[in-house]
A and B are shown apart, each in its own frame.
Chain A
C-alpha cells in the first residue's frame, strides 16, 4: 500500500463527523464525502477511484441499511465497506455484516482502530482482486474450466508429478458446432458448451488424477490416466447423450486420443496429436473415437509436401498426361481414350494420383490441373490432326469444383476453338456425385455443353444413392460404370443382376455404357454377355505415356 493513495468514500449525514473523519483520513487517503446513502450511490457511479467505504447507518433519505441492500447487488459490491455507528449492540453488528459489510466500528471514532481496520480491508480487497484477476486470467469465462494456457501448464505439472501413471490426452469437439450455433443461437450453443464442461467435471471425479479444460470454441481436452476401456466408455456415453440432447438436431462428438509416450514433452504437442487423431472421425456418424497413429502425421506431412510442391510442379512441367485406351468390347480395338494426370517428380519419380488428387480437390488446385489436362489434350488432338491421323476421342475429367465455375463452358469452348478441333473429340467426364449435389446447375451446364457439340460421360454411375433420378433428369451421352460395383458387395449374384439390368436400361435409352476397371477375362465375358459396349481397364491396357499410346493405337 506504499506509494499509492487510496480514495475513501465517507458516507455520513452529519457534517461534523465528516469533517472529523476527513481530518483523520487525509494524510493517508483522499476522501470523497456523501451526505446519505443516495448521495453515496451517485458518488460511486461517478468516482471510479473509490477504494473503500465508511458508511454511517442512521441517515435520512437513504440510510445505511438501505444502502447496503443496494450495494450488495451492485457493480461495486467488491469494494470493502466498513459500517460505522454509535450503536454498539451485537444485533446491529450482525445485521450489517450479514448485509455485506466487511467490518464494523462504532462511534466515537478510535483513530488507531479505524485506520488499522480500514487498512486491513483495503489490503484484503486487493488480495481478493488479485485472486479474482488470477482466476479470470486462468479460467474460461463461459464454462469456468481452465483455459487453454492454464490447461497445458497444469497438464504438464500433472504428468511430471505422477511419473508412475501413463496418461492420455483426450480431445473432444462437436462436429459442425458452428452450424448448431447458427441454427439455434449463441445462447443455446453456450448452454451446450456448459453441459459438456459439466460432463468433464464428472469424468474428472471418476478417473483421478486428471486435468481438464476448454481449449477454444467447442474443443475441450482432458489429460487423464490412459485407461482404454474407460475412455471408450466416456466417448460412447457422450455419443449417446449428445444424440438425444436436441431432438431436432443430431449432435455428434469427435474424440481424438493421444497416448502419452514421453510425458516430458510439451502438452501442446500432445494436444495437437490428439486433434489430428480426431480428424479421423470427422463427418462420420459411426466413428466418434480415434487414437493417434504415426500414419496420420505422415499423411499430413505428405499432404503438406504436395501443397508445397504443386505450383512449382505445374510451372516446371512435372505433370504429364497419360492416356488409357477404351476398347470396343466386341471388335477388340481402341475406340477412344481417357486422359489421366501423372506427376513425374524429379526426385521422387512417378507419384500416384491417389496421393495428390484428393489434396488438389480439397484446396481447389484441381481447377488448374484440369485446365492443364484439357489444354494438353486439345494440343495433342490438334497435333494428330495436323499429322494426318484420324484421331480417336479423348475424354477428360471435369472436377466438381470446375462445374461450379460460371465460365466453364466458355473456357472449354475457347480451348477447342484455339486448337481448331471438333468438340466431339474432347469428351467430358463428370462424376455422378456432382449431379447429386446440385442437379439443376449440373443439368444446365451439361445441356449447354451438349448444345455446343461436346459429348458428356457420366463417370462412376451407380455410386450414388439416387442414380435412377439422375438418369431421369440429366441427359448424358455415355455412362461409365466401375467394375468395383461387383466386387464391393457380399452378394455378387444380386450385383450382377442389377448391373445387367442397368446396362439393358442404358441400351434402351440408347446410351452407350463403358465399364471401367476391367481386369480379368471372366469379367470381359460377362460384360459381353450382358451387352456392354465398351471397356477400359488393366486387362486391355494400363494408362501410358502419349508416345506409347500412339504406337499402340495409330501404328
Chain B
C-alpha cells in the first residue's frame, strides 16, 4: 500500500509542476485538505484507463465524453499540464477525428505518472 504525501508536500509539488493551485483554492473554500482528498480521487479516476480503451477501439463519441469529463475535472483541480493535454484530445474528438489522439493520450498517461509521484511518497 502506497503512502500518501502530506498536504503541504502535495501542494508544493503541484505548484512546482505548473499547476495553478492558487486559482483552485477558492473553489475549495481555501481548504487544502479537502483539495487533497479530491485529488486522490482524480488520480484513481477510471476515466483515464477507459479513454485509452475507447481511443484504441475507435469509439469517437465515447472517447469524447470521457475526455470531456476528464477535462472538466482537471480544470477544476487546476492540474494544468494534464488539463491542457486533455483539451487538445477533446478538440480533436469534437472535430470527429482520432488522428493525433494516441500521441496525446500517451502524454496524458505520462503526466499522470508525474501526478502519482507527487501524491505518493517514494517507496523505499
Question: Residue on B with the closest CB to A27?
Answer: B29
Q: Flag A75-109 by CB within 8 Å of B: 1 or 0 each.
A: 00000000001110000000000000000000111
Contact check, A108 vs B41: say whether CB atoms are below 8 A apart. no
Bound complex: CA A20 to CA B42 (Å): 12
Which residues of the other chain, A, contact B71 by a CB distance below 8 angstroms?
86, 107
Q: Flag A18-44 by CB within 8 Å of B: 1 or 0 each.
A: 011001100000000000000000000
Tell me the smallest distance from the CB of A93 to a CB of chain B, in Å.
15
Judge if A283 is at the interface, Cβ distance under 8 Å.
no
Judge if A459 is at the interface, Cβ distance under 8 Å.
no
Question: Residue on B with the closest CB to A109?
Answer: B27
Judge if A413 is at the interface, Cβ distance under 8 Å.
no
Contact check, A17 vs B72: say whether CB atoms are below 8 A apart. yes
Contact check, A23 vs B65: say whether CB atoms are below 8 A apart. no
Bound complex: CA A13 to CA B73 (Å): 11
Contact check, B34 vs A23: say whether CB atoms are below 8 A apart. yes
Q: Flag A35-67 by CB within 8 Å of B: 1 or 0 each.
A: 000000000000000000000101110000000
Which residues of the other chain, B, contact A24 by a CB distance below 8 angstroms?
27, 29
Tell whether A109 pairs with B28 under 8 Å between CB atoms, given A13-B69, A19-B38, A86-B68: no
Tell whether A17 pairs with B41 under 8 Å between CB atoms, given A23-B29, A58-B69, A86-B68: no
Categorize the interface residue count of chain A. 20 to 34
Bound complex: CA A16 to CA B42 (Å): 7
> Quick one: which of B26, B38, B65, B68 contacts A16, CB cutoff 8 A?
B38
Question: Residue on A with the closest CB to B26?
Answer: A111
Q: Which residues of chain A from 2 to 22 have any CB-CB distance to chain B below 8 Å in the complex? A: 13-17, 19-20
> Quick one: which of B27, B29, B42, B69 contacts A108, CB cutoff 8 A?
B27
Which residues of the other chain, B, contact A354 by a CB distance below 8 angstroms?
none
5 closest A-B pairs by CB: A108-B75, A86-B72, A58-B68, A108-B76, A107-B72
Q: Which residues of chain B from 53 to 88 have any CB-CB distance to chain A below 8 Å in the complex? A: 64-65, 68-69, 71-73, 75-78
Contact check, B27 vs A17: say whether CB atoms are below 8 A apart. no
Tell me the smallest distance from the CB of A529 to a CB of chain B, in Å.
110
Judge if A286 is at the interface, Cβ distance under 8 Å.
no
Contact check, A16 vs B41: say whether CB atoms are below 8 A apart. yes
Bound complex: CA A24 to CA B68 (Å): 22
Tell me the smallest distance from the CB of A106 to a CB of chain B, in Å.
9
Tell whether A20 pairs with B27 under 8 Å between CB atoms, given A14-B73, A108-B76, A108-B78: yes
- Of B26, B27, B45, B72, most A-chain CB atoms within 10 Å: B72
Judge if A202 is at the interface, Cβ distance under 8 Å.
no
Judge if A386 is at the interface, Cβ distance under 8 Å.
no
Which residues of the other chain, A, contact B78 by a CB distance below 8 angstroms?
108
Q: Flag B94-105 by CB within 8 Å of A: 1 or 0 each.
A: 000000000000
Tell whether A60 pairs with B65 under 8 Å between CB atoms, given A20-B38, A111-B27: yes
Q: Which residues of chain B from 1 to 30 have any CB-CB distance to chain A below 8 Å in the complex? A: 23-24, 26-29
Tell me the smallest distance from the CB of A88 to a CB of chain B, in Å.
10
Which residues of the other chain, A, contact B76 by a CB distance below 8 angstroms?
16-17, 20, 107-109
Tell me the smallest distance from the CB of A35 to a CB of chain B, in Å.
12
Interface residue tally for chain B (C-beta within 8 Å): 24
Given A58-B69, A107-B76, 19 extra CB contacts under 8 A: A14-B72, A14-B73, A16-B38, A19-B38, A20-B28, A23-B31, A23-B34, A24-B27, A58-B64, A58-B72, A60-B65, A86-B72, A107-B72, A108-B72, A108-B75, A108-B76, A109-B76, A111-B27, A112-B26
Question: Residue on B with the closest CB to A112?
Answer: B26
Which residues of the other chain, A, contact B28 by a CB distance below 8 angstroms?
20, 23
- Of A16, A17, A56, most B-chain CB atoms within 10 Å: A16
Which residues of the other chain, A, contact B72 by a CB distance below 8 angstroms?
14, 17, 56, 58, 85-86, 107-108
- Of A20, A60, A86, most B-chain CB atoms within 10 Å: A86
Question: Residue on B with the closest CB to A58?
Answer: B68
Bound complex: CA A15 to CA B40 (Å): 12
Q: Which residues of chain A from 102 to 140 have any CB-CB distance to chain B below 8 Å in the complex? A: 107-112
Tell me the smallest distance from the CB of B34 to a CB of chain A, in Å.
6
Which residues of the other chain, B, contact A108 by a CB distance below 8 angstroms?
23-24, 27, 72, 75-76, 78
Bound complex: CA A14 to CA B47 (Å): 10
Bound complex: CA A17 to CA B75 (Å): 10
Which residues of the other chain, B, contact A17 by a CB distance below 8 angstroms?
72-73, 76
Please list 24 pairs of residues, one from A and one from B, whose beta carbons are closer than 8 Å in the complex, sorted by A's number.
A14-B69, A14-B72, A14-B73, A16-B38, A16-B41, A16-B42, A17-B73, A19-B41, A20-B28, A20-B76, A24-B27, A56-B72, A58-B64, A59-B65, A85-B72, A86-B71, A86-B72, A86-B75, A107-B72, A107-B75, A108-B24, A108-B75, A108-B78, A109-B76
Bound complex: CA A60 to CA B62 (Å): 9
Bound complex: CA A509 to CA B74 (Å): 112
